Structure 1
Amino acid sequence: MVTANGGGDGADSAPRRGRPRSIETSNAILESAYALMASTGLAATTIDAVARHSGVSKMTIYKWWPSREALLIDAFLRHAAQMLPLPPASSGSPAARARRHAAAYAEALQGEFGKVQLAVISECISKTGSAELFYARYLQFRRDALVEMIAAGQNDGSILAEGPAEDLYDAIYGSLFYRYVFGIAPITPTYARNLVDLVLRPKA
């Protein structure tokens, strides 16, 4: 199966000249899937539609993705990785990096990114009864990385909040998503930064 960044099982044993085309084809599929989700909605983003839009055969798409839901999640994952990159350790303290990332997420929720994310999660729930597939293919890696960042801040003393780093992460991003889904209050970058400070209690 080809992963979101274009790699795949057995890729190392394939002729090197085949790699660029494989990556190019994978990216064309993922770009087409996301573009269709954003422009025409999830219902219209069928495998047939993605094949027509990308110029790639349905056989190839089914070979690389086990289901339509997996393809939609990977298309969203690729876009999210470009739009919301995980903050590198060299870009400041853990709390400062958490503020920037949460603020960027809050801003992204206001555009097509938020609508596509919610639609993909809803699709997973309607098809499988849970959002476990979305967590496994998209959220788990990003959550683990940010939890590790928060834990590093607790260890070096720059984050004063106690308790498991996993719970602190969930308190921040769970609150942002909850407010977005139910329209409880406007989600702004400023609100997100203040929420990070409230939850993490960074050392002054």
Structure 2
Amino acid sequence: MAKGMIEADGDAAANRRGRPRSAETTNAILQSAYTLMATTGLAATSIDAVARHSNVSKMTIYKWWPSREALLIDAFLDHASLMLPLPTSGTPADRLRSHAAAYAKALQGEFGKVQLAVISECISKTGSAEIFFERYLRYRRAALVQLIAAGQQDGSVGAAGAPEDLYDAIYGSLFYRYIFEIKPISPAQARNLVDTLLMIRRR
């Protein structure tokens, strides 16, 4: 879902410029940007470096992304949509438990390091994480908030709180534990957290 939103936003931006994007070129740029972030670090992931790694001109990259930060966020979003897709089968409660567990696992690898680095970059450049929220978190948060609401409607989620607050309690807790290295943070712990906060009974 998130990836589709990237492509929709990208297509709209490209159409305004009068030149449609090439999916192959777009993927090459996004994959190169993420690979560089994960292997060489954020500081080394310049537009020049992405252009060289992807074999795409800097002019093309600047036409499609308004800033380096926007490119880095979209590269992270693209990778997240592949690595952490929203489960499509099972009850809302089952899907939420599965996604939270996958997120906890991802935080322990390069994904967690890249996510934290991108957020830090946005804050250091602009003074806030607003661009990260607008280009990445807003879409994924909305999708999972809707899933919590669906679970409340079908009874698989017993908690009566606002879906937005419940989402923040789950994912905010996982990210907080990751940042400050508070153990345990694991798929099992994430599933237990979802069960507790959403008042889910395991079958």
TM-score under structure 2 normalisation?
A: 0.91
Give, as a single letter, the amino acid of the residue that structure 1 aligns with 2:160: E
Query: What is the match of residue 139 of structure 1?
Result: 137
Q: Does 1:52 align with 2:52?
A: yes
Give, as a single letter, the amino acid of the residue that structure 1 aligns with 2:12: D
Q: How many residues align?
A: 197
| Cα offset, 1:184, TM superposition | 1.3
Candidates 158, 161, 177, aligned match of 2:159: 161
Query: What is the match of residue 107 of structure 1?
Result: 105
Query: What is the match of residue 25 of structure 2?
Result: 25
Query: What is the match of residue 62 of structure 2?
Result: 62
Give, as a single letter, the amino acid of the residue that structure 2 aligns with 1:175: S
Query: What is the match of residue 79 of structure 1?
Result: 79
| Cα offset, 1:96, TM superposition | 0.7
Three-state SS of the structure 2 residue aligned to 1:9 is helix
- Verify the 8 A CA contact 1:5 1:78 in the aligned structure 2: no
Structure 2 gaps of 5+ residues are none
Aligned equivalents of 1:186, 1:194: Cα separation in 2:
11
Output one character per residue of 1:39-67: Cα deviation in whole Å (capped at 9) or x when no partner: 00000000000001111010000000000
Aligned equivalents of 1:182, 1:149: Cα separation in 2:
28
- Verify the 8 A CA contact 1:157 1:203 in the aligned structure 2: no
| Cα offset, 1:9, TM superposition | 2.6
1:167-178 equivalence runs, <5 A: 167-178=165-176
Q: Does 1:5 align with 2:19?
A: no
Output one character per residue of 1:53-85: Cα deviation in whole Å (capped at 9) or x when no partner: 111010000000000000000000000000000
| Cα offset, 1:158, TM superposition | 1.7
Aligned equivalents of 1:151, 1:165: Cα separation in 2:
6
Output one character per residue of 1:139-159: Cα deviation in whole Å (capped at 9) or x when no partner: 111100100010011112221
Give, as a single letter, the amino acid of the residue that structure 2 aligns with 1:63: K
Output one character per residue of 1:1-38: Cα deviation in whole Å (capped at 9) or x when no partner: xx73385137689xxxx97x711011100010000000
| Cα offset, 1:130, TM superposition | 0.7
Query: What is the match of residue 184 of structure 2?
Result: 186
Aligned equivalents of 1:56, 1:4: Cα separation in 2:
19
| Cα offset, 1:138, TM superposition | 0.5
Aligned residues with identical type, % of pairs: 73
Output one character per residue of 1:164-196: Cα deviation in whole Å (capped at 9) or x when no partner: 000000000000000000111131000000000
Output one character per residue of 1:116-141: Cα deviation in whole Å (capped at 9) or x when no partner: 00000000000011111111101111
| Cα offset, 1:203, TM superposition | 4.7
Structure 1 gaps of 5+ residues are none
- Verify the 8 A CA contact 2:29 2:51 in the aligned structure 1: yes
Give, as a single letter, the amino acid of the residue that structure 1 aligns with 2:11: G
Query: What is the match of residue 39 of structure 2?
Result: 39
Aligned equivalents of 2:143, 2:68: Cα separation in 1:
27
Give, as a single letter, the amino acid of the residue that structure 2 aligns with 1:4: I
